[in-house]
């Protein structure tokens, strides 16, 4: 069953978002094809990963694989949060009309979530925090990981939890609004829901979930050691 079958008004829609009668003042269709947009995004990811590997190996030749992957992840997060999500936070009032590469990428993604085109209060606030706080901190963590700095794990815990919690609310509201208020934000095709919405956001559950666990374990180990060292130094005061 096609969209047009379930929603007769879809055939008259002036935009590809859902629901078809959603009003998007100033909307301009993307001039660039989807494969080219996705290739540009993938090229950006590849560039950030490559630059991080080169930088990390130059600063610490013997860096472990685990630290290298963590640094790559946070440098990518820094770029996506500060530049891509920062772009949305800054231009939230005029997203339907924007046709530069970031504007087109956001409109393509919005097929799975129209809240990025309608100044949804939660989406704008969450993305603003992500851009302003998690963005710069992600770059800092990437650098601290390469340098093996003790501040790395506490900041890793902060940013990963911020990403994880933001994602939980982002998805929770999506499903709650549909179940309770009948508000649907995603096109009905499985592709947009599973690939754009679930898979893209799924990365920010799985990887931060692991990094939260790792940071808790590392901090707890160090705090236990510090207690033992403290006890050995002054056994009577304990």
**CA-CA distance, 39 to 213, in Å (whole number)?**
33
- Segment lying near its own copies (by CB under 8 A), choices 26-34, 78-86, 150-158, 195-203: 150-158
Verify cis geometry, omega within 30 degrees of 0, for the bond prior to 197. no
- The reply to whether 225 sits near its own copies by the rule CB under 8 A is yes
Q: Site for its own copies (CB under 8 A): how many residues? A: 44
In the bound state with its own copies, the residue whose beta carbon lies nearer, of 170 and 196, is 170
Closest contact distance (angstroms) between CB of 150 and its own copies is: 4
- Whole-number Cα distances in Å, 49 to 73, 78, 211: 8, 12, 18
Binding positions for its own copies, 79-138, rule CB under 8 A: 93, 119, 121-122, 124-126, 128-129
**CA-CA distance, 230 to 177, in Å (whole number)?**
52
In the bound state with its own copies, the residue whose beta carbon lies nearer, of 104 and 112, is 112
- The reply to whether 233 sits near its own copies by the rule CB under 8 A is no
**CA-CA distance, 85 to 131, in Å (whole number)?**
6
The one among 1, 61, 180, 233 contacting its own copies by CB under 8 A: 180
Shortest CA distance to 110 belongs to which of 142, 126, 88?
Answer: 88
Lookup: tokens for 1:
């069953």
**CA-CA distance, 104 to 95, in Å (whole number)?**
9
- Segment lying near its own copies (by CB under 8 A), choices 13-21, 41-49, 98-106, 152-160: 152-160
**CA-CA distance, 100 to 85, in Å (whole number)?**
14
- Residues binding its own copies (CB under 8 A): 93, 119, 121-122, 124-126, 128-129, 148, 150-155, 157-158, 161-162, 165-166, 168-169, 172-173, 176-177, 180-181, 212, 215-216, 218-227, 229
């Amino acid at each position: 069953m096609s969209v047009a079958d379930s929603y007769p008004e879809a055939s008259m829609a002036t935009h590809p978002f859902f629901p078809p009668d959603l009003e998007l003042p100033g909307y301009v269709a993307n001039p660039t094809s989807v494969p080219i947009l996705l290739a540009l995004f993938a090229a950006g990811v590849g560039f950030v990963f490559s630059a991080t590997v080169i930088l990390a190996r130059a600063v610490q030749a013997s860096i472990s694989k685990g630290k290298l992957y963590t640094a790559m992840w946070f440098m990518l997060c820094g770029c996506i949060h500060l530049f891509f999500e920062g772009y949305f936070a800054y231009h939230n009032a005029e997203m339907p009309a924007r046709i530069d590469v970031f504007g087109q990428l956001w409109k393509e993604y919005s097929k799975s979530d129209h809240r990025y085109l309608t100044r949804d209060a939660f989406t704008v606030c969450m993305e603003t925090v992500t851009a302003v706080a998690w963005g710069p901190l992600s770059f800092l963590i990437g650098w601290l990981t390469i340098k093996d700095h003790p501040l790395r794990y506490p900041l890793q815990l902060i940013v990963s939890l911020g990403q994880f919690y933001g994602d939980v609310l982002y998805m929770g509201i999506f499903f709650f609004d549909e179940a309770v208020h009948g508000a649907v934000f995603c096109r009905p095709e499985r592709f947009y829901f599973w690939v754009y919405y679930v898979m893209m956001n799924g990365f920010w559950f799985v990887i931060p979930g692991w990094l939260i666990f790792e940071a808790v374990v590392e901090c707890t180990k160090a705090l236990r050691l510090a207690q033992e060292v403290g006890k050995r130094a002054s056994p009577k005061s304990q």
